[in-house]
Amino acid sequence: MLITRSRVHVGMRQVHVGRRSAVALVATVVALVFAGVALANEVGNYQWDSNYGTRATVAVSSFSPSTNCIASASYVTSTDSNRQLQIGQLLCASGYGVDGTCSLSNNFILYVERIPATGSAVCYPHGSASGSYLLTVDDSAGSGTFYTYASGTQYEGQSGYDSSRFFSEGSEYTGSSCSGWSGSTSFSGWQYYNLALNQWQYVTSPVGPSAQCWSVSSYNGTSHSFTVSH
Amino acid sequence: MNKTLWIKLAAALTVCAAAAGATFIAAAFGGASSGGTPIAFGKIGNSATGGGDPSAVLAAAVKQVPDDTIASASIVAPPAGAANPNLPWLHVAVRVPSLQNGLDVRPMWIADLVQGELAEGIGTSSDLHAGLEGSTFDAVLPDGTIVPDESGGMGDVVRGQTFSTGTASQVSSAIAAKLQGLGLKPVSIDVVAIPDAAPEVVAIAPDPTNAAENLVNIEKTLFGDPAQYEGYYLELQAPDGTPFVHASAAFRTGAGRFWIDPRYASVASEKTLGRINNDQRGRR
């Protein structure tokens, strides 16, 4: 499924577009509702769109889903949103799961999910989670292959990326309601990998935040941190 | 308190928190740590029997594949950038009918099962990942096109899980009865053995929305909780025969694969984590 910000777009377009476009937009929304199309998981994140990697200390304070699942992760995503690699911490409510094997028994886990440009997603659990990791997704060789790391331990990689990709740090709720769940995660010491200088540098002015259901704090340019909570 | 004790305390408290009702509260935890207790999906019981020659174990596993899904499989050196270049790496070319609409799930699952037998057979550590660095699954399309690195990975899973070794007839009968109890109509029930029993089930759901809502419960009812089989493939069809779910699990690698018709994604109890949309680019 594609996480969109359709609600944001709807709101903006209702204000700014003419009558004909507005009618078309309403018709589209109505059609989507009747088709039962999933418009959104609920995400709260910041993005950074250059260079060769992202890393931050991702510390989960609490996850409490009564339905569905909550994750906090580091991501690389192709610009067209088709290819994606993420490493994070995940907890699903009883009776819910991700891809069949991740947090299948409402256990709090470390995971990697990779989505190919075409084809189906796959999730790999990497044991019980501790709550706090330096989560990294990087291509330190500049070869188009990104690898994932949790506090220095390497996990899955994914090849095939070109320069059209961006990075995210944030949280996600897999349901489409803003009620019945809570969660809080801090992201601190956010850095990007500067391949030209062969070193990690702090992210100073990320894009965002995006805050569907979530409350995302202002980005602290001194501690290079923010929190995502609900 | 040393790091090992912190990890043990974290694992114990995580279990308690989960048992209390899908809540994780991290107030008791200290700084970052790496690794965690490997996941067990089934019951633990087998004594470790690994240590086999990787190529021989792989050949035996591939021989058990009942069709031509596996175009080739070999032990190779890990790709550039891999952390442990001295560990074995599995490369598989997997024949897929298409990469659209979940049609890659079943073929990739077969490769997952092969990898699971390999991991169990070659390592000796309690974490299967410690003996197999990872895998690369290339997709081979019907026209011969090869899509490199379509999938692959290796979860941190406990060695020595025990799974059903029932005959195809026994497993099929058991699952047919459970399908009936769930109100699902069987289309086909096949069982592969790589090396243990792994059912692949195609069934019609009279009410796809209801089936999507209860998908995790359906999977656990059919295939056990804890997992009774080493893996499963499940295809659910609408009453008109159109597939709306392709799901698989391989409990020796931890690989879980999932596709659902977007019309039912919002209500499904099983999800794929979302693709992040970058429509905020350019606002800086």
| B139: confidence class by pLDDT, cuts 50, 70, 90 | very high
pLDDT of residue A11 exceeding 80: no
pLDDT tens readout for residues A30-56: 333 333 333 358 899 999 887 899 999
| B17: confidence class by pLDDT, cuts 50, 70, 90 | very low
User: Taking CB atoms and an 8 Å limit, are B255 and A101 in contact across chains?
Assistant: yes
Lookup: tokens for B65: 């594949």
Q: Which residues of A touch B129 (CB under 8 A)?
A: 126
Query: Given this model, what pLDDT does residue B9 score?
Result: 38
How far away is chain A from the Cα of B37, in angstroms, using its nearest Cα? Answer: 5
pLDDT tens readout for residues B219-277: 999 999 999 999 999 999 999 999 999 999 999 999 999 999 999 999 999 999 988 88
Q: How far is the CA of B210 from the CAs of A142, B157, B184, B241, in angstroms?
A: 46, 32, 11, 16
Q: Residues B233, B236, B240, B242: what is their CA dihedral angle, to the nearest 10 degrees?
A: -60
Q: Which one of B32, B216, B219 has the shortest CB-CB distance to A133?
A: B32
What's the average model confidence in pLDDT over A140-153? 96
Domain that residue A39 falls in: 2-229
Cα gap B234→B245, rounded to integer Å: 7
Cα gap B94→A4, rounded to integer Å: 32
What's the average model confidence in pLDDT over B97-106? 98
User: Taking CB atoms and an 8 Å limit, are A122 and B157 in contact across chains?
Assistant: no
User: Taking CB atoms and an 8 Å limit, are B272 and A49 in contact across chains?
Assistant: no
pLDDT tens readout for residues A165-202: 999 999 999 998 999 999 999 999 999 999 999 999 99
CB B283 within 8 A of CB A207: yes
Q: Which one of A65, A81, A120 has the shortest CB-CB distance to B257?
A: A120
User: Taking CB atoms and an 8 Å limit, are A107 and B266 in contact across chains?
Assistant: no
User: Over chain B, what is the mean pLDDT?
Assistant: 88
Return the bridge partners of B55, or none: none
How far away is chain A from the Cα of B197, in angstroms, using its nearest Cα? Answer: 18
User: Over chain A, what is the mean pLDDT?
Assistant: 84
pLDDT tens readout for residues B178-218: 999 999 999 999 999 999 999 999 999 999 999 999 999 99
Q: Which one of A79, A95, A118 has the shortest CB-CB distance to B216?
A: A95
ipTM score assigned to the predicted complex? 0.89
User: Taking CB atoms and an 8 Å limit, are A68 and B271 in contact across chains?
Assistant: yes
Lookup: tokens for B37: 């207790």
| CATH code of the domain covering residue A47 | 2.60.120
Cα gap A128→B5, rounded to integer Å: 15
Return the residue in B3, B4, B24 with the most chain A beta carbons within 10 A, the one to mutate for interface testing: B24
Q: Which residues of A touch B152 (CB under 8 A)?
A: 156
User: Taking CB atoms and an 8 Å limit, are B22 and A157 in contact across chains?
Assistant: no
Global confidence as pTM = 0.87
pLDDT tens readout for residues A69-102: 999 999 999 998 899 999 999 999 999 999 999 9
Cα gap A201→A98, rounded to integer Å: 33
Query: Given this model, what pLDDT does residue A35 score?
Result: 33
Query: Given this model, what pLDDT does residue B47 score?
Result: 66
User: Taking CB atoms and an 8 Å limit, are A121 and B219 in contact across chains?
Assistant: no
Query: Given this model, what pLDDT does residue A131 score?
Result: 93
Query: Given this model, what pLDDT does residue A4 score?
Result: 35
CB B237 within 8 A of CB B205: yes
Q: Which one of B6, B102, B257 has the shortest CB-CB distance to A100?
A: B257
Dihedral over Cα of A149, A128, A188, A45: its sign: positive
Q: Which residues of A touch B266 (CB under 8 A)?
A: 36-39, 176
DSSP line for B203-238: EE-SSHHHHHHTHHHHHHHHHTTTTSSSEEEEEEE-
The identity of residue A211, as a single letter, is A
- Report DSSP state, residue A203: -
Query: Given this model, what pLDDT does residue B22 score?
Result: 60
| B8: confidence class by pLDDT, cuts 50, 70, 90 | very low
Phi-psi region of B27 (alpha: psi -120 to 50; beta: other; left: phi over 0): alpha
Range with the lowest mean pLDDT among B7-11, B160-164, B248-252, B256-260? B7-11
Return the residue in B14, B39, B109 with the most chain A beta carbons within 10 A, the one to mutate for interface testing: B39
pLDDT of residue B27 exceeding 60: no
Return the residue in B4, B259, B278, B281 with the most chain A beta carbons within 10 A, the one to mutate for interface testing: B278
pLDDT tens readout for residues A94-137: 999 999 999 988 899 999 999 999 999 999 999 999 999 999 99
Cα gap B219→B205, rounded to integer Å: 13
Domain count, chain A: 1
Chain B, nearest residue to A35 by Cα: B263
Return the residue in A69, A92, A104 with the most chain B beta carbons within 10 A, the one to mutate for interface testing: A104
